[in-house]
Amino acid sequence: GDSVTQMEGPVTLSEEAFLTINCTYTATGYPSLFWYVQYPGEGLQLLLKATKADDKGSNKGFEATYRKETTSFHLEKGSVQVSDSAVYFCALSEQTSYDKVIFGPGTSLSVIP
Amino acid sequence: DTAVSQTPKYLVTQMGNDKSIKCEQNLGHDTMYWYKQDSKKFLKIMFSYNNKELIINETVPNRFSPKSPDKAHLNLHINSLELGDSAVYFCASSQDLLAGEGDTQYFGPGTRLTVL
């Protein structure tokens, strides 16, 4: 079945450091890919998404490119801030699977001043 | 204006009790979900409803029963609560999945259930 794998956390970075959180997926069709973020004590919210190969999603300085050849959707940010501390979830949804989103296990990020 | 709201935010109860969590969305979406998030932050879908009809029912014990009185509400009732039910439960909603598009899910703030 479909699945999403993310790099193990927790990740701790200093402010202004470069961030990469790796995400790879397995899917039978052509999924849409997402990054969701969960700030402490809150629900998840969409950070960015890409719906087809080579699309780049971007938001709030974060970006990720849909790479079909490597089945990856790595999240990057050039300079993290303390306010970026959160749990990040990579996810996919298959067009053939009615409204079902498969989430990765989440990667906890802590940014220290 | 809250898009997806859940009540209560915290729920502490004894083993064996029956409890309900309510969810409402004011986004006009057709599809609603319940997710369970464990202590390691792992998120797992439990149910999905579309226009009040059950679409997805993952392997959830039948002690869990979702009820959708209308498409803006999806409540979760849990019978005979067990220690392992302790988790954060999230409600979410989305529009119908469109061909070629990725449908965004909008999450509620979560309900932290603690079973003693």
Confidence of residue B40 (pLDDT cuts 50, 70, 90): confident
- CA B24-B29-B35 angle, to 5 degrees, is 60
Q: Which residues of A touch B99 (CB under 8 A)?
A: 95
pLDDT tens across B4-18, in order?
Answer: 999 999 999 999 999
Do A13 and A73 meet the contact criterion of CB atoms below 8 Å apart? no
Distance, CA of B21 to CA of B66 (rounded, Å): 10
Mean pLDDT for the stretch of residues A1-10? 88
Confidence of residue A108 (pLDDT cuts 50, 70, 90): very high
Percent of all residues in chain A with a pLDDT value above 70, rounded to a whole number: 96
Percent of all residues in chain A with a pLDDT value above 90, rounded to a whole number: 78
Residue A14 has pLDDT above 50, yes or no: yes
- Contact call for B99 and A95, based on CB within 8 A: yes
Residue B100 has pLDDT above 50, yes or no: no
pLDDT at residue number A2: 84
Establish if A5 touches chain B: CB-CB under 8 angstroms: no
pLDDT tens across A51-91, in order?
Answer: 889 999 999 999 999 999 999 999 999 999 999 999 999 99
Mean pLDDT for the stretch of residues B53-81? 90
Q: Which residues of B touch A51 (CB under 8 A)?
A: 100-102
Mean pLDDT for the stretch of residues B30-43? 90
pLDDT at residue number B75: 96
Establish if A69 touches chain B: CB-CB under 8 angstroms: no
In terms of DSSP bridges, do strands B10-13 and B111-115 run parallel, antiparallel, or are they unpaired?
parallel
Beta bridge partners of A57: A64
Establish if A24 touches chain B: CB-CB under 8 angstroms: no
